[in-house]
Homo-oligomer: A and B are copies of this chain.
Amino acid sequence: MPDLKAAVVGATGFAGSELVRLLARHPQVVISAITSESRAGELFSDVHPQFKGIADIELITADQLSAVDSDVLFLALPHGVSMKYVEQFKDMGAKIVDLSGDFRLSTPALYEEWYGMPHTYPKAIETAVYGLPELHAEKIKTADLVANPGCYPTSAILGLAPLMEHHSIEPDHIIVDAKSGVTGAGVKAKPGTHFSAVNDNFKAYGLKRHRHTIEIQSLLGGLSGTDPTILFTPHLLPVDRGILSTIYARVKSDLSEDKLTDLYHSFYQNAPFVRIRSSAPSIKEVRGTNFCDIFPTYDERTQTVLIISVIDNLVKGAAGQAIQNMNLMFGLDERTGLQQVPLAP
């Protein structure tokens, strides 16, 4: 099969460099272009020195992309910016995987409510497919625009999907207590990402109104035909990569540890990147990979299901999942180029 020509729009951020890390070794891909408005003219390896000898590619501007032949565009841009480029690129003949939040919600009104700005390209919301391959593979295969899921939602939705689909838990009062590495906050230097604000420290943030709340709620609602309420609390870990979600939900009816385990194994039997674990996984056990490791367990004493779900926020929570989506969109085995072994320690 001939190689796919893939362009990465937005080179300076963590998602951008992670896309290049994975695409540079993807056996069916050639990188057609990498863009950066602020660093155009420099080499990608000037911006990210670890790529010296691996991706010494001259950066171009997004406008110059129209002169480049590409099969797929990965947009690694902030929300609000991304929708403008999706519109600009709509007639280029390339499929698009958008890593921002701009096309994840189902209506412009919801977007405006949670993102605090009007949506400038609402038409594309209708055709965009939410790209969580474990749930939406069929739709992804034919999509032209995939909205790549948020990092927290990926871990939370995969953790809860079997229970929601089987109506095993009360849809009210589901609690997602999530902890993320700092790369989730972006590459930009801010007081909150200063080493000394994070190191040997730990805190909660975005209490009660983080944008990923609505993304999780909407997806789980769609999956179960209910209107669940999720209380989502993110925290900032002093680590680079990784999300661990500790999820609590009350059981509706009879459950046992065995039933629960069977449910998860069965639900994910064809999902090569979901590993059902028999004890609590740590974030390092998936570092650098597209795995989502899930440990579901039942606490009879409190009649609560407790689920631990871990991902690498830059891989399964961003660049890896984007490439998994690309694989599906172009008829490749979804595992292609995503077979890394976790880097631990």
Tell whether A196 is near chain B: CB-to-CB under 8 Å: yes
Tell whether A331 is near chain B: CB-to-CB under 8 Å: no
- A:146-202 near B, CB below 8 Å: 172-173, 175, 177, 179, 182-183, 187, 189-191, 193-202
Bound CA span A241–B202, Å: 10
CB distance from A62 to the nearest CB of B (A): 22
**Looking across the interface, which residue of chain B has its beta carbon closest to that of A12?**
B191
22 CB-based A-B contacts, threshold 8 Å: A21-B341, A25-B340, A49-B281, A52-B277, A173-B304, A177-B248, A179-B202, A179-B235, A182-B196, A182-B199, A195-B238, A195-B240, A196-B345, A197-B345, A198-B199, A199-B240, A199-B345, A200-B240, A200-B287, A204-B280, A231-B302, A235-B246
CB distance from A73 to the nearest CB of B (A): 21
Of the candidates B14, B193, B341, the one whose C-beta lies within 8 Å of that of A50 is B341
Bound CA span A29–B181, Å: 35
Report yes or no: A231 in contact with B306, Cβ–Cβ below 8 A: yes
CB distance from A228 to the nearest CB of B (A): 10
CB distance from A281 to the nearest CB of B (A): 7
Tell whether A61 is near chain B: CB-to-CB under 8 Å: no
Report yes or no: A50 in contact with B208, Cβ–Cβ below 8 A: no
Of the candidates B21, B195, B242, B248, the one whose C-beta lies within 8 Å of that of A195 is B195
Bound CA span A342–B25, Å: 12
Report yes or no: A24 in contact with B203, Cβ–Cβ below 8 A: no
**Looking across the interface, which residue of chain B has its beta carbon closest to that of A49?**
B285
Tell whether A284 is near chain B: CB-to-CB under 8 Å: yes
Residues of B within 8 A of A250 (CB): 173
Of the candidates B51, B54, B239, the one whose C-beta lies within 8 Å of that of A200 is B239
